[in-house]
Structure 1
Amino acid sequence: MKKILLGSTALVAAGLLAQPAFAADPIQLQVKGYYQNLVTYSDVSDAPAGTNYKDFQFRHEGEVHFMGKTKLDNGLTVGFDAQLEIVNVGLSGGQPRDMDETYMWLEGGFGKLQLGAENGAAYLLHVDAPSFGLGFDDRNFGPVVQTGGFSRPNIAGDTPKGTYFTPRIAGFQAGVSYSPNLDGQDLSGYGFGVISVPTGSVEDIYALGLNYTGKFGDFGLRASAGYETGDVVGGGQDPETWALGLSVAFGGFTVGGAYSDSENYNSGSVSPGADGNVYSLGLSYQTGPWGISGVYQNTDFDVAGVTTANSSDEYELAAMYQAGPGIQFRGGITYTDTDLGTVADTTTVFVGTFLSF
């Protein structure tokens, strides 16, 4: 797969050298993004002794996306995307992390090549269950006690990588990604060359994705398949995960779901000896500005050396009203039932505003 990405880069370079590649216009900056604000009330039952949870909360999350592109005279389109977190998302390399995905891309008749910090092909091409609420698979908010997993393959996360997408042909599009290692989030300075990779970390991470989008009369169909794996430095149990997704739409209704199976990988992090699966099912209906949905997700993992259960069931009922372009009001109720003795069950009612611009 590394050779495929190198070959794609060479094809782009050859195209640039074959003829003058002047841009008709300089890159034009656009500002887009989203902001989500919730009011939540949660009831926590069977909480472990000595553990206290706050029931009433204000929750918010958002990003400002600085984007730009231009088309060269030889037909190649060059662009970039830098995503600024409105709400700080934690630490990266011991420092506050204010930037999320940041990458550039080249697109033409050959397909699309992405270079930088962005999720991989298996993640980006994945199809999951529909939701007009918070959802489970790609959510920005979760229950007070987070126990559920994610069906999207995402071992490398948004570490720096190269990703190649084929053109979409007869509804099909494939992608391949390569990430040198998991510890490259902060390789953005002037130093480069050989770096130290800790024993037990993961390197040479590959991801493959396949996506289909098509229509058959009044039916719309979306499907996906993905796989991702990497090598543990110094030996050990290599993580791997594969996933399938399917969604069918007809007359305002959409039904869909996803399934993933993982080894040595648990809910977004490398975890030696953790094997399990995640599956979700959802149904939504939209008429005019109104939408309703129901989603169910099951997460079940066995962890080496851990005798207690490590599984959860999550349910969501939600409604949405499109008040105007880029303005949605959403509300609903979620319930999380976990078999972990150290984690509480949670029922949450939420209402909020979802803005996009």
Structure 2
Amino acid sequence: MKKILLGTTALVTAGLLAGPALASDPLKVTVGGNVVTGFYFVDADNVGSTNFQDTKVALVARNIDIKAEGTLDNGLVAGVDAKLQLGSDWNANNVQNGSANFRQLFAYLEGGFGKFEIGGTDGAAYKMHYTSPWFVPGNGVDSPNIYNGVSNKGSSSYGSSSPEVRLSTFSLMATDSNKISYFTPRLAGFQLGLSYTPDAQNHGPSENGLVLVPKNSSYNNNNNINQVFEVALNYAGTFGGVDVGVDGFYTSGNAIYSGGGDPEEYGFGANLGYAGFTLGGAWYESNDLDYKYGISDARKDASADVWTVGLKYATGPWTVGVAYLDGQDNSGGNLGSRRDGRESQTVQLGGGYNLGSGVDLGLDLQWASNQHNNSWNSTSYESKSGGLVLAIAF
């Protein structure tokens, strides 16, 4: 009944927008999602008076995906993709934690000319990127869903789940922000992607389109970046039974306020696949860009380097692997003396077993180290953890 009602709504909407000239069938609507859970034993160094030798229950990737897609009479493919993210605290009264919000919402048109996307979603640099493989269900070292490292921020209000050093080789300057993107058709294995974001918001599609909102501190309360351009190029092909994937990207933006610099991101990645093995890695660098605690911010002299490498083997329902990620804060100027040459290393070992119907059970072993390398106050915090992960996609 639900699918019938959704289909009827799409049909009525199509009629209102386009009139009776359109004879195409209504777009097909599907509803799915995923949840990743884990139970971990953690043995970590204390940070001040805070003890992290404990157990942990992780509940991440709480998404409901609503998709509508159909082929029109003229051959074009049209669709809408909406990602509803559930809050992390069911009892909270605030919007971000206590309720469900659309993290992404965008429409697209695809045909022989390529593909256009417009709305709140990730850009071309993000979507076309290759990196170290994930082999634990729902988790990996590059942009981890579950991270068990600690640092000297572990005893603060940010909590141990907020590392001070960047743990991602993906372009995150305008992730989930309202943008327009174009992807060319893939020719001889190559594809080009371009994205433009007027304002780099971090809470998904928030503008209602009724007014022009001024670019000031009350509006951009999470960053001060606008006019973000992304260009990405990747290649996918097979040589002698070896699957090859390679990409490179560049992202630039403007700081809204003086003193922010002009943030930039560079990166490239590669995957090689053969006989069930996948070897992958990536490198990333940013300038005049801060990304901490889930927020991108234009900041003069802020800089980071991240690289990762991993190996995965899959056979039947089984997947095993090992991966490593190294992140370093290379900020200069006044930030350099405050950042203390911070570094982070993460090693992950484990695998998963597919039980069927989108249900995966995995073992996740992590070793993480966070260091401050200042000569007068050199500190290091290490964490070892192991857990069982249950990931369900529906």
Q: TM-score scaled by structure 2? A: 0.79
Residue type of the partner of 1:351?
L
Q: Which runs of 5+ in 2 are unaligned?
A: 1-17, 151-162, 373-377
- The 5 A counterparts of 1:176-215 are 176-183=194-201, 185=204, 187-189=206-208, 191-198=210-217, 201-215=224-238
The alpha-carbon distance between structure 1 residues 233 and 86, as it changes in their structure 2 partners (threshold 3 A), is closer
Q: What does residue 4 of structure 1 align with?
A: none
Whether the 8 Å contact between 2:113 and 2:184 is mirrored in structure 1 is yes
Report the 3-state secondary structure (helix = DSSP H, G, I; strand = E; otherwise coil) of the residue aligned with 2:266. strand
The alpha-carbon distance between structure 1 residues 174 and 235, as it changes in their structure 2 partners (threshold 3 A), is same
Q: Does 1:335 align with 2:373?
A: no
Whether the 8 Å contact between 2:119 and 2:205 is mirrored in structure 1 is no
Choose 179-188 or 258-267, whichever is displaced more: 179-188
Report the 3-state secondary structure (helix = DSSP H, G, I; strand = E; otherwise coil) of the residue aligned with 1:303. coil
Q: What does residue 279 of structure 2 align with?
A: 255
Which of residues 283, 288, 293 in structure 1 aligns to 2:311?
A: 283
Which of residues 99, 103, 106 in structure 2 aligns to 1:100?
A: 103
Q: What does residue 12 of structure 1 align with?
A: none
Report the 3-state secondary structure (helix = DSSP H, G, I; strand = E; otherwise coil) of the residue aligned with 1:188. coil
| Counterpart-to-counterpart distance in 1, 2:201 and 2:144 | 24
State the shift of 1:141 in Å. Answer: 1.7
Residue type of the partner of 1:130?
P
Choose 333-342 or 57-66, whichever is displaced more: 333-342
| Counterpart-to-counterpart distance in 1, 2:206 and 2:316 | 47
Q: What does residue 344 of structure 1 align with?
A: 381
Report the 3-state secondary structure (helix = DSSP H, G, I; strand = E; otherwise coil) of the residue aligned with 2:144. coil
Q: What does residue 126 of structure 2 align with?
A: 123
CA RMSD of aligned residues (A): 2.5
Q: TM-score scaled by structure 1? A: 0.87
Q: Does 1:77 align with 2:77?
A: yes
- The 5 A counterparts of 1:166-185 are 166-183=184-201, 185=204
Whether the 8 Å contact between 2:125 and 2:231 is mirrored in structure 1 is yes
State the shift of 1:186 in Å. Answer: 5.4
Q: What does residue 9 of structure 1 align with?
A: none
State the shift of 1:54 in Å. Answer: 6.2
Q: What does residue 159 of structure 1 align with?
A: 177
State the shift of 1:139 in Å. Answer: 2.5
1:44-96 CA deviation, whole Å, 9 max, x = no partner? Answer: 11x33223336211111221101011221111111001111134499778996
Could you tell me the percent identity over the aligned residues?
28
Matched residues, number: 338
Whether the 8 Å contact between 1:128 and 1:245 is mirrored in structure 2 is yes
The alpha-carbon distance between structure 1 residues 257 and 21, as it changes in their structure 2 partners (threshold 3 A), is farther
The alpha-carbon distance between structure 1 residues 303 and 175, as it changes in their structure 2 partners (threshold 3 A), is same
| Counterpart-to-counterpart distance in 1, 2:37 and 2:227 | 38
Q: Which runs of 5+ in 1 are unaligned?
A: 1-16
Whether the 8 Å contact between 2:143 and 2:167 is mirrored in structure 1 is no
Q: What does residue 3 of structure 1 align with?
A: none
Structure with bigger strand share is 1
